[in-house]
Structure 1
Amino acid sequence: MTQQQLAERVGIKFQQIQKYETGMNRVSASRLWDISEALQVPIDFFFEGLEGGGAEASETTLPSDILADKEALELVRSYYAIPENQRRRLFELARVLSDAA
């Protein structure tokens, strides 16, 4: 499937698909769901081969509905209120800190 065909099935422009592929833009959970539907693959297809990834790891470390937690929801809202370049730096910091734990 071409980028253009995928973009049409998902309902976005093919340039956005290119940005997802190169890592210029992050892929939201809902968009990843749309892409998995368009490609007719399960969502965990995108996490195959990742150490510590996939459904098993997330079920053991996160509540089933994390956004039902008020503190988690407030954290997510605050995170997206930060300008994008600072948000990326904060994300990298959080990744480093979580690896050290």
Structure 2
Amino acid sequence: MTDTPEARTPNAVDLHVGGRVRMRRKMLNMSQEHLADALGLTFQQVQKYERGANRVSASKLYEIAKTLQVPVSFFFDGLADPVTNENDDVGAADRIVTEFLNTPEGMELAEMFPKIGRGRVRRQVLDLVRAMAEESSPRDAS
């Protein structure tokens, strides 16, 4: 086994599964410690699963699904079909939402945004975020 940077890079599927574990855990307002206790693990192991640093075994994924009250397939939603290698539009949208919710601020923003009662204010928030994203875009550096 080589110790090259490529060998230390988490597998894309492990990153996706870990991100889905994190997203669901946060949706349930469950701490890493609580999930770890329910699974008989340390919270550090849960952290490694969520970062994709450690792979989740099939039996552990089954336990995680049971604890987080989702079907095992939930953790693979948004990945390309391994037989056809095709993604559908729902998968693409799901990836965008997953990436957003996996940021430290994404879950909180997603939770708070619907609490803004006025549509006009929500639109202004969206316009602000859009302008900030365009300003920090690497395309604008030219």
TM-score, scaled relative to structure 1: 0.50
Query: Which residue in the other structure is 2:50 paired with?
Result: 21
1:34 aligns with 2:63: yes
List alignment gaps of at least 5 residues for structure 1. 58-101
Query: Which residue in the other structure is 2:72 paired with?
Result: 43
List alignment gaps of at least 5 residues for structure 2. 1-29, 85-142
The separation in 1 between residues aligned to 2:76 and 2:51, in whole angstroms, is: 17
The separation in 2 between residues aligned to 1:46 and 1:24, in whole angstroms, is: 16
Query: Which residue in the other structure is 2:96 paired with?
Result: none
Larger Cα Rg: Structure 1 or Structure 2? 2
How many residues in Structure 1 have an aligned counterpart in Structure 2? 55
C-alpha displacement of 1:39: 0.4
The separation in 2 between residues aligned to 1:52 and 1:38, in whole angstroms, is: 26
The runs of 4+ residues in structure 1 deviating greater than 2 Å are none
Percent identity, aligned pairs only? Answer: 55
What one-letter code is carried by the residue in structure 2 that aligns with 1:6? L
The separation in 2 between residues aligned to 1:42 and 1:28, in whole angstroms, is: 15
The separation in 2 between residues aligned to 1:11 and 1:30, in whole angstroms, is: 13
Deviations 1:11-40 (A, max 9, x none): 111100001111111110001001001101
TM-score, scaled relative to structure 2: 0.36
